[in-house]
Amino acid sequence: MNARFDMFSNEVALKFGKRFANASTAIAQSPLPKSTQELVSLRASQINGCGFCVDMHTKDAVADGESQVRLNLVAAWREATVFTDAERAALALAEEGTRLADHHQGVSDETWGQVRKHYDDDQVAALVALVALINAANRMNVIVRNPAGSYEPGMFDSMKA
């Protein structure tokens, strides 16, 4: 499978990609646990059918020490016993924030209450930004049909300033 358009060789796309990567640095440097960041990114990517991002976030999570069992169960997190209550709140926010059109009022008050119960203001800011950013990345990759399978952990580190 080949991409419809190579976002990595176009000058405009590369300029945007660098800015996009730098936006992700603020999230990566936040107090939101790295494992939660990867779980949220993986779940949103699964929902959006973004193979490239599923590949990337699965591999990054493994490189950061995440267990295969937890990664295997992200899609069925509600029925799994391997996630903390805080992670469950973050995964619920990821799902509701990704499926905005499916919910009359977007993120439910119940989910928001669970997020606020488990995360401080800086972590909430990072979590909301992460859900927005991963959804944007998913959409770009799905639009151009960026294929999955070739990602190597850290391969985009050079794009960050």
Higher pLDDT, 159 or 1: 1
Mean pLDDT confidence for 43-64: 97
> Residue 54 sits in which domain range?
11-150
**Is 157 inside a domain boundary?**
no
**Is 28 inside a domain boundary?**
yes
**Is 129 inside a domain boundary?**
yes
Residue 161, pLDDT > 70, answer no
Burial of 152 (C-beta count, 10 Å sphere; 0-12/13-18/19+)? exposed
**Which tens digits make up the pLDDT trace of 73-120?**
999 999 999 999 999 999 999 999 999 988 778 899 999 999 999 999
For the chain, what is the domain count? 1
Instruction: Write the CATH number for 118.
Output: 1.20.1290.10
Question: d(Cα 150, Cα 69) in Å, to the nearest integer?
Answer: 22
Mean pLDDT confidence for 30-34: 98
